[in-house]
Amino acid sequence: MNKVKKNQKLKIKKSIRNRFEVTPTGKVMRVSSFNRHLRRKKSKKQLRRLKGKKQVFGRLAIKLRKLLGR
């Protein structure tokens, strides 16, 4: 990333903003994949597991937090 001047605001990546969110405690959350269509053939157990948001861990979470301006 380029160095940012003190008064300059960071431009947030719109594509990342739509896919991820940062909670007030600083966790980066994402939505599960394989959950949009063709749900009928998936087991109820698998659909329950895919429901809800999942947490992003590691270096990726740190990078995403920076790109989201947090």
Domain architecture of the chain: domains with CATH: 14-67 (4.10.410.60)
Q: What is the 3-state secondary structure (H, E, C) of 24-65?
A: CCCCEEEECCCCCCCCCCCCHHHHHHHCCEEEECHHHHHHHH
Query: What's the pLDDT at 5?
Result: 63
- Pull the structure tokens for residue 31: 């939505």
Query: What's the pLDDT at 4?
Result: 61
Query: What's the pLDDT at 19?
Result: 93
* 3-state SS, residue 17: helix
Q: What's the whole-model pTM score?
A: 0.74
Q: Is residue 68 within 8 Å of residue 16, measured between CB atoms?
A: yes
